[in-house]
Amino acid sequence: MESKIIEEAQQYVKETLSGEGSGHDWWHIYRVYKLAITIAEKEGADRFICSMAALLHDIADEKLNSSEEAGMQKVSSWLSDHKITATDKIHILEIISSMSFKGGNSQGMQTIEGKVVQDADRLDAIGAIGIARAFTYSGHIGQLIYDPEIHVRSQMTKDEYRNGPSTAINHFYEKLLTLKGRMNTEHGKKLAEARHQLMETYLDEFFHEWEGIK
Ligand code: ADP
Ligand code: NI
């Protein structure tokens, strides 16, 4: 039964996110789902809850809906149309709302399943995949890959910084290099460590090439 619901959720998400160009396409969901299962097994978290929350986590995103509430309503009705217990439904919705709302729930994720899925989503923004996503998103919104004059902006205040132009490389400093420190689970931390190291190596190489050193 559970595997049938997971399959139906996959189908639903594939259809809903087809054509999504801002980094939330089906393959992002696929990766978060697979990684959530990997982490869930290490952490002893419930596999069904993690799978469902991972699969549905971006359906409620405000970028794809008229509002966050409308997005959550969509996920809620989908869950009601499927044979999922009331407890599981509440749990899955709670994880998704903490993940999609800006900055999430102020107390952070409440359950191990929530921690696992949030780690999987954050891990997809770093490492080899994260690098690819940052450049893709950057192209999507018309940013340059890098601009040394914008890079010095990292010395500016947060507001000055936020209101000005950015670049793909800047996004590493604004966000990607901070994610390692925000992992919830032990296994998430371990995976983040390796992905973080790859980004550091990548950036070193990038700046060498930029200045024609290598
Ligand atoms: P989430 O998946 O957590 O909702 P976002 O919607 O913020 O993340 O971003 C989707 C992808 O695009 C992520 O891989 C993120 O790193 C990347 N991204 C977001 N904002 C920028 C930006 N200003 N420049 C480059 N990449 C970005
Ligand atoms: Ni996501």
Please tell me the number of the ligand nearest to residue 130's CA.
1
- Which among 104, 133, 161 is the end of a domain? 104
In a domain, 57, yes or no: yes
Q: Which protein residue has the closest C-alpha to ligand 1 atom 17?
A: 134
In this predicted structure, what is the pLDDT of residue 99?
Answer: 87
Please tell me the number of the ligand nearest to residue 182's CA.
1
In this predicted structure, what is the pLDDT of residue 124?
Answer: 97
Question: Helix or strand or coil: residue 59?
Answer: coil
Shared domain for 98 and 4, answered yes or no, is yes
In this predicted structure, what is the pLDDT of residue 150?
Answer: 75
Question: Over 70: is that where the pLDDT of 13 sits?
Answer: yes
pLDDT classification of 68: cutoffs 50, 70, 90: confident
> CA–CA separation, 22 vs 8, rounded Å?
24
Residue owning tokens 């914008």: 150
Shared domain for 6 and 91, answered yes or no, is yes
What CATH number does residue 162 fall under?
1.20.58.1910
Q: How many A from CA of 161 to the centre of ligand 2?
A: 25
pLDDT classification of 156: cutoffs 50, 70, 90: low
Cβ burial 27-38 (10 Å sphere, 16+ → b, else e): ebbbbbbebbbe
Total number of domains in the chain: 2
Residues 20-64: pLDDT tens digits? 666 678 999 999 999 999 999 999 999 999 999 999 999 988 777
Q: Which atom of ligand 1 is nearest to the CA of 130?
A: 14
Q: How many A from CA of 125 to the centre of ligand 2?
A: 9
- Judged by average pLDDT, the poorest of 4-8, 61-65, 78-82, 155-159 is 155-159
- Beta-bridged to residue 167, according to DSSP, are 144
Range of the domain at 200: 125-214
Shared domain for 30 and 87, answered yes or no, is yes
Shared domain for 100 and 129, answered yes or no, is no
pLDDT classification of 108: cutoffs 50, 70, 90: confident
Q: How many A from CA of 77 to the centre of ligand 1?
A: 27
Nearest to 55 by CA among 90, 101, 22, 16: 16
Q: How many CB atoms lie within 10 A of CB 132?
A: 11
Q: How many A from CA of 86 to the centre of ligand 1?
A: 33
In this predicted structure, what is the pLDDT of residue 18?
Answer: 80
SS (H, E, C) 115-184: HHHHHHHHHCCCHHHHHHHHHHHHHHCCCECCCHHHHHHHHCCHHHHHHCCCEHHHHHHHCHHHHHHHCC
Which amino acids bring their CB within 6 angstroms of ligand 1?
23, 121, 125, 130, 133-134, 137-138, 143, 166, 168, 171, 176
Contact 175, 154 (CB under 8 A): no
